[in-house]
Amino acid sequence: MAHTHKPLHDQVIVITGASSGIGLTTARMAAEAGARVVLAARDGAVLARVQAEIEGVGGKAIHVVADVGERAQVQAIADAAVAAFGGFDTWVNNAGLTIYGRLWEVSDSDHERLLRTNLWGTVLGSLVAVEHLRRNGGALINVGSVGSDLAFPLQGMYCASKHAIKGFTDALRMELFEDGAPVSVTLIKPASIDTPLPQRAKNYTDHEPKLPPPVYRPEEVANAILHAAVHPQRDIYVGGGAKALASFKEFAPGAYDALAPVVTALQKRGDPPQDAQDALHAPSRPDGAARGTHPGYVMRTSAYTRSTLHPLPTTALVAGLGAAAALLVRASTRGPRR
């Protein structure tokens, strides 16, 4: 079903997980494009600073302190958007956390908290948003991961949550289609993105965690999200590396499984873990940072993603995928850095 959405400058956009990383970057870019923004996260002090920053340059924003794992608090986000702006046109479920550790080492309470934020937060956000969007039309955008299509060691429950988000999103899309609802549903699947996610993770390992390459800037994800808010697409991979990995796993699952030691090594820095409290159960460390501290190269753009959003000649698309695949092979054969 084709959907026609308003231009960004006429939209009200709700963004969960707006206090750091992808959410913060998306909020800034949306406000810069003229959208009115509803910022939601657990850290009220950071949200207030972001709101002031947006309003300081002429933008319009409100913020709502909310734990997306609680339905009443998610409903409060929607109610605040209606009270301030008369409703919303796009809802972005972005809030998420991760845990580094073997599945059998992680406590049940930590597993449950991750699922409550990543999965249940997306479920609740989607269902609350759809109640409004089914009547008024608009876009629902869920941020999954390359982990929606494949798994990797040390972040097993994170991958499980992203697999579940994909299944839920696909089922919801079908039900809305059957209902004839004027709602587009997009799943964003980023590769590794240079955000504070590893530094905010609960870490059970004996090393400081990091992201496996290739790594992209959060602006690439924000660009894909805001594109989908106006020009709906079913799924968007962010980073040619994400598409290349998913394709490799689909066609050679056994060979992909055999990469487990390499993938594990690529998620560990050479340093011991920092003595810092994680943000799994509460926003215990200051948020407000869009970029992380990835020690390696961060790709500025993804030719593959730009091609899928704004079609280019096929040769450019192939070249982007080839470059991503070459980076993956080089990283895999290099092994852990000593």
Q: Are strands 12-16 and 36-41 parallel, antiparallel or unpaired?
A: parallel
The dihedrals phi and psi of 280, each to the nearest 5 degrees, come to -65, -50
For residues 222, 269, 271, 156, the Cα torsion angle rounded to the nearest 10 degrees is: 80
CB atoms within 10 A of CB 137: 16
In whole angstroms, what is the distance from residue 91 CA to residue 122 CA? 11
Distances (CA, A) of 1 to 13, 112, 180, 289: 22, 36, 8, 38
Dig out the tokens for 229 from the structure.
């808010």
Q: Is 131 helix (H, G, I), strand (E, B) or coil?
A: helix
Yes or no: say if 240 and 303 are a contact pair by the CB < 8 Å rule.
yes
Q: Are strands 99-100 and 202-203 parallel, antiparallel or unpaired?
A: parallel
In 90-239, where does DSSP find H-type helix? 108-115, 121-136, 156-179, 197-200, 218-230
The dihedrals phi and psi of 122, each to the nearest 5 degrees, come to -70, -40
Active site residue 158: yes
β-strand partners of 235: 187
In whole angstroms, what is the distance from residue 141 CA to residue 185 CA? 6
Edge-to-edge strands, sheet with 183-190: 60-65, 36-41, 12-16, 90-93, 138-143, 183-190, 235-238
In whole angstroms, what is the distance from residue 203 CA to residue 183 CA? 38
Of 100, 158, 237, 304, the active-site residue reads 158
Catalytic residues: 158
